[in-house]
Structure 1
Protein backbone atom coordinates (compact mmCIF):
# COMPACT_ATOMS: atom_id res chain seq x y z
CA UNK A 1 0.00 0.00 0.00
CA UNK A 2 2.82 2.39 0.87
CA UNK A 3 4.62 1.64 -2.39
CA UNK A 4 1.44 2.48 -4.35
CA UNK A 5 1.27 5.89 -2.65
CA UNK A 6 4.93 6.58 -3.42
CA UNK A 7 4.41 5.59 -7.05
CA UNK A 8 1.33 7.81 -7.36
CA UNK A 9 3.20 10.73 -5.75
CA UNK A 10 6.05 10.27 -8.21
CA UNK A 11 3.68 10.20 -11.18
CA UNK A 12 1.89 13.32 -9.90
CA UNK A 13 5.17 15.21 -9.50
CA UNK A 14 6.35 14.06 -12.92
CA UNK A 15 3.11 15.25 -14.51
CA UNK A 16 3.30 18.65 -12.83
CA UNK A 17 6.98 19.23 -13.62
CA UNK A 18 6.73 18.21 -17.31
CA UNK A 19 4.04 20.66 -18.36
CA UNK A 20 5.11 22.82 -21.29
CA UNK A 21 6.15 26.38 -20.36
CA UNK A 22 3.56 28.33 -22.34
CA UNK A 23 5.02 31.84 -21.87
CA UNK A 24 8.50 30.77 -22.89
CA UNK A 25 7.30 28.87 -25.95
CA UNK A 26 5.13 31.83 -26.99
CA UNK A 27 8.14 34.12 -26.72
CA UNK A 28 10.30 31.72 -28.74
CA UNK A 29 7.72 31.43 -31.52
CA UNK A 30 7.26 35.22 -31.54
CA UNK A 31 11.02 35.74 -31.89
CA UNK A 32 11.12 33.17 -34.68
CA UNK A 33 8.29 34.83 -36.62
CA UNK A 34 9.57 38.39 -36.12
CA UNK A 35 13.10 37.32 -37.05
CA UNK A 36 11.92 35.54 -40.19
CA UNK A 37 9.85 38.52 -41.31
CA UNK A 38 12.69 40.91 -40.52
CA UNK A 39 15.18 38.87 -42.54
CA UNK A 40 12.82 38.77 -45.51
CA UNK A 41 12.14 42.50 -45.26
CA UNK A 42 15.84 43.28 -44.90
CA UNK A 43 16.73 41.21 -47.93
CA UNK A 44 13.93 42.89 -49.86
CA UNK A 45 15.34 46.29 -48.85
CA UNK A 46 18.79 45.16 -50.01
CA UNK A 47 17.58 43.98 -53.38
CA UNK A 48 15.36 46.96 -54.21
CA UNK A 49 17.45 49.65 -52.49
CA UNK A 50 14.47 50.90 -50.49
CA UNK A 51 15.74 53.87 -48.52
CA UNK A 52 18.76 56.03 -49.20
CA UNK A 53 21.43 53.36 -48.95
CA UNK A 54 21.77 49.61 -48.67
CA UNK A 55 22.98 49.90 -45.09
CA UNK A 56 19.38 50.00 -43.82
CA UNK A 57 18.73 46.58 -45.33
CA UNK A 58 21.95 45.19 -43.89
CA UNK A 59 21.18 46.51 -40.40
CA UNK A 60 17.61 45.22 -40.46
CA UNK A 61 18.81 41.81 -41.59
CA UNK A 62 21.42 41.67 -38.81
CA UNK A 63 18.91 42.76 -36.18
CA UNK A 64 16.41 40.19 -37.42
CA UNK A 65 19.06 37.48 -37.17
CA UNK A 66 19.49 38.38 -33.49
CA UNK A 67 15.76 37.66 -33.06
CA UNK A 68 15.71 34.59 -35.31
CA UNK A 69 18.56 32.56 -33.80
CA UNK A 70 17.27 32.19 -30.20
CA UNK A 71 13.69 31.92 -31.46
CA UNK A 72 14.61 29.03 -33.75
CA UNK A 73 16.72 27.33 -31.08
CA UNK A 74 14.09 27.32 -28.34
CA UNK A 75 11.22 26.57 -30.70
CA UNK A 76 13.16 23.54 -31.93
CA UNK A 77 13.73 22.35 -28.35
CA UNK A 78 10.03 22.81 -27.54
CA UNK A 79 8.96 20.94 -30.68
CA UNK A 80 11.33 18.03 -30.07
CA UNK A 81 10.26 17.83 -26.42
CA UNK A 82 6.62 17.82 -27.47
CA UNK A 83 7.29 15.05 -29.99
CA UNK A 84 9.14 13.06 -27.31
CA UNK A 85 12.60 12.86 -28.87
CA UNK A 86 15.24 11.42 -26.58
CA UNK A 87 17.38 14.06 -24.88
CA UNK A 88 14.87 16.91 -25.22
CA UNK A 89 12.61 18.14 -22.43
CA UNK A 90 10.69 21.26 -21.57
CA UNK A 91 13.02 21.79 -18.62
CA UNK A 92 15.74 22.76 -21.14
CA UNK A 93 13.86 25.98 -21.91
CA UNK A 94 14.85 28.73 -19.45
CA UNK A 95 12.18 30.66 -17.55
CA UNK A 96 11.31 34.18 -18.63
Structure 2
Protein backbone atom coordinates (compact mmCIF):
# COMPACT_ATOMS: atom_id res chain seq x y z
CA UNK A 1 0.00 0.00 0.00
CA UNK A 2 1.35 3.37 -1.02
CA UNK A 3 1.29 6.26 1.47
CA UNK A 4 -1.02 9.13 0.53
CA UNK A 5 0.52 12.42 -0.50
CA UNK A 6 0.06 15.42 1.71
CA UNK A 7 0.10 19.10 0.98
CA UNK A 8 3.31 20.25 2.64
CA UNK A 9 2.05 23.75 3.36
CA UNK A 10 -1.07 22.68 5.25
CA UNK A 11 -0.45 19.03 6.07
CA UNK A 12 -3.76 17.99 4.46
CA UNK A 13 -3.78 14.73 2.51
CA UNK A 14 -4.22 15.42 -1.20
CA UNK A 15 -7.24 13.16 -1.44
CA UNK A 16 -9.19 15.57 0.79
CA UNK A 17 -8.24 18.79 -1.04
CA UNK A 18 -11.12 20.39 -2.91
CA UNK A 19 -10.32 22.23 -6.16
CA UNK A 20 -12.57 24.60 -7.99
CA UNK A 21 -12.29 26.61 -11.19
CA UNK A 22 -11.57 30.29 -10.98
CA UNK A 23 -14.27 32.52 -12.32
CA UNK A 24 -13.44 34.61 -15.36
CA UNK A 25 -13.77 37.83 -13.33
CA UNK A 26 -11.10 36.90 -10.77
CA UNK A 27 -8.21 37.99 -12.98
CA UNK A 28 -9.84 41.32 -13.89
CA UNK A 29 -9.24 43.52 -10.89
CA UNK A 30 -9.91 47.20 -11.45
CA UNK A 31 -6.63 49.04 -11.02
CA UNK A 32 -6.16 52.73 -10.47
CA UNK A 33 -5.08 54.80 -13.45
CA UNK A 34 -1.65 56.36 -12.84
CA UNK A 35 -2.48 59.90 -13.95
CA UNK A 36 0.73 61.32 -12.50
CA UNK A 37 2.93 58.89 -14.45
CA UNK A 38 0.98 59.43 -17.66
CA UNK A 39 1.25 63.20 -17.31
CA UNK A 40 5.00 62.94 -16.68
CA UNK A 41 5.39 60.74 -19.77
CA UNK A 42 3.40 63.27 -21.79
CA UNK A 43 5.62 66.11 -20.59
CA UNK A 44 8.78 64.15 -21.43
CA UNK A 45 7.39 63.31 -24.86
CA UNK A 46 6.49 66.93 -25.64
CA UNK A 47 9.76 68.40 -24.34
CA UNK A 48 11.74 65.79 -26.27
CA UNK A 49 9.80 66.44 -29.47
CA UNK A 50 10.30 70.20 -29.04
CA UNK A 51 14.06 69.78 -28.49
CA UNK A 52 14.39 67.47 -31.49
CA UNK A 53 12.60 70.00 -33.69
CA UNK A 54 14.72 72.89 -32.40
CA UNK A 55 17.92 70.83 -32.79
CA UNK A 56 16.97 69.91 -36.34
CA UNK A 57 16.29 73.53 -37.22
CA UNK A 58 19.60 74.58 -35.68
CA UNK A 59 21.45 71.85 -37.55
CA UNK A 60 19.91 72.83 -40.87
CA UNK A 61 20.79 76.48 -40.30
CA UNK A 62 17.20 77.67 -40.47
CA UNK A 63 17.28 79.30 -37.02
CA UNK A 64 20.92 80.25 -36.58
CA UNK A 65 24.04 80.21 -38.72
CA UNK A 66 26.09 78.78 -35.82
CA UNK A 67 26.44 75.34 -37.35
CA UNK A 68 26.40 71.95 -35.68
CA UNK A 69 28.20 73.05 -32.50
CA UNK A 70 25.00 73.95 -30.65
CA UNK A 71 22.64 71.68 -32.52
CA UNK A 72 24.13 68.29 -31.65
CA UNK A 73 23.76 68.62 -27.84
CA UNK A 74 20.17 69.83 -28.25
CA UNK A 75 19.41 66.85 -30.50
CA UNK A 76 21.03 64.38 -28.09
CA UNK A 77 19.15 65.74 -25.08
CA UNK A 78 15.94 65.80 -27.11
CA UNK A 79 16.33 62.16 -28.07
CA UNK A 80 17.19 61.15 -24.48
CA UNK A 81 14.06 62.89 -23.20
CA UNK A 82 11.78 61.82 -26.05
CA UNK A 83 12.44 58.06 -25.89
CA UNK A 84 11.26 57.36 -22.30
CA UNK A 85 8.23 59.57 -22.81
CA UNK A 86 7.29 57.77 -26.01
CA UNK A 87 7.85 54.35 -24.42
CA UNK A 88 5.62 55.03 -21.44
CA UNK A 89 2.92 56.72 -23.49
CA UNK A 90 2.86 53.67 -25.73
CA UNK A 91 2.37 51.39 -22.72
CA UNK A 92 -0.41 53.64 -21.40
CA UNK A 93 -2.09 53.63 -24.81
CA UNK A 94 -1.94 49.84 -25.11
CA UNK A 95 -3.30 49.45 -21.58
CA UNK A 96 -6.19 51.82 -22.32
CA UNK A 97 -7.07 49.89 -25.48
CA UNK A 98 -7.03 46.60 -23.57
CA UNK A 99 -4.19 44.84 -25.37
CA UNK A 100 -3.20 41.54 -23.81
CA UNK A 101 -0.48 41.67 -21.09
CA UNK A 102 -0.75 45.47 -20.72
CA UNK A 103 -2.38 46.91 -17.63
2:97 and 2:76 map into 1 onto residues whose CA distance is 31
- CA displacement, residues 5-63 of structure 1 (integer Å, 9 cap, x when unaligned): xx9xx69x922xx1210000000011001101110110000001626341211110000
**Distance in 1, Cα, partners of 2:70 & 2:60:** 11
Q: Which has the higher helix share?
A: 1
TM-score, normalised to structure 2, is 0.68
Q: What residue is the counterpart of 1:14 in the other structure?
A: 29
**TM-score, normalised to structure 1's length?**
0.73
Partner residue, 1:92: none
Alpha-carbon distance in structure 1 between the residues aligned to 2:93 and 2:32: 13
Gaps of at least 5 residues in structure 2 are 1-22
Higher-Rg member (1/2): 2
Tell me how large the CA RMSD over aligned residues is.
2.1
Conservation of the 8 A alpha-carbon contact between 2:61 and 2:67 = no
Structure 1 runs of 4+ aligned residues shifted over 4 Å read: none
Determine the C-alpha separation between the residues in 2 that align with 1:20 and 1:55.
Answer: 42
User: Which protein, 1 or 2, shows the higher relative CO under an 8 Å CA cutoff with sep ≥ 6?
Assistant: 1
Q: Number of residues paired by the alignment?
A: 78
